[in-house]
Amino acid sequence: MPGVLAWQHVDVYAAYIDQLGPAENIRSGELAAPKPGPTDVLVDVTATTVNPVDTFVRSGAWRTPIEFPFVIGRDLVGTVAATGPGAVGFAVGDRVWCNSLGHGGRQGAAAEQAVVPVDRLYHLPGSVRAADAAAVLHPAGTAYLALFTHGRLRAGETVVVAGAAGNVGGALVVLAADAGARVIATASAQDEQYCRALGAAEVIDYRDPALPQRIRDVCPQGVDVYLDTSGKNDLETAVDLLTFRGRVVLLAGLRTRPVLPAGPLYLKDASIVGFTISHATTVELAEASRTINRLLAGGGLRGRTIEEAPLTAAAEAHARLERGELHGKRLVLCPELDR
């Protein structure tokens, strides 16, 4: 069987760690080829990328089951190399993607080949370039869950996206506008046209000392959903801006400990919910994948700036991300560049 034979590789090139710690712990080299199970799909990886959560897993800030050597990375775009007998819906040669590897006991995506459980794998629209897709899969998945699964966004509502020019922020703007919401973006003045091109109705300079009042001026009835991608999590300001039964969704700021304005919160019947994409169910991820694929196919989802590099650049990519050097930029790792 072609699928069985395709699993018999001796080793693959990968970016991996042998222990938790700093970015310099990441190594690049040969590892034993991954072994798929009966409901898995073996994927030849074309592109993967680096997300903030990848640095949390690598450093140990985000605790998750890990078996060393541990291949890093959440996202991949690639081609099906083989399928297990229970992995229905995919065939050798299919272009596919995944954005939920590298945690929960699953090895990561930064390798020439990766094993993906069939319920975490999705077809990639044929017209989409691999690096372009890899750049947006994690931000878009995060944005979908924030807006719809946890934020319960409906058409006609008003959304504030703080940090709208970033990777997740930009995806939030695109998905919210696509759903028929009115998007108020906060970003630097130089990013105003970019945010408007994504679908923001209003863009306010986040440095404006009168920022909360500026938001009130354009949202006199209050805000339905408030999201802060910067991770500052100023709950007093956010709750004050909410309308009746408004929602604050927390999706960044791992180490923040903000003050909870309990009185205003319950008097508005409002809610604050936090989430991480790592806890998303396969049903939730699959639901998000349908919107992501539709927007990818139509050109509505795109990385602002994409830099491509080999797997050997993984350690430096993590270090650059932690130094804050990749704001608004997606660094895509392509195994073929290591050959």
Domains of the chain: 2-124+304-338 (3.90.180.10), 137-278 (3.90.180.10)
pLDDT of residue 255: 85
pLDDT of residue 328: 75
Whole-number Å distance between alpha carbons of 135 and 328: 11
pLDDT of residue 9: 56
Output the CA torsion 37→39→40→41 (10° steps). 130
Q: If we measure between CA atoms, which residue out of 227, 178, 230, 187 comes closest to residue 205?
A: 187
pTM: 0.94
Query: What are the residue ranges in the chain where pLDDT is below 50?
Result: 1-7
pLDDT of residue 254: 84
Whole-number Å distance between alpha carbons of 257 and 232: 9
Label residue 310 exposed, middle or buried (CB < 10 Å: 0-12, 13-18, 19+).
middle
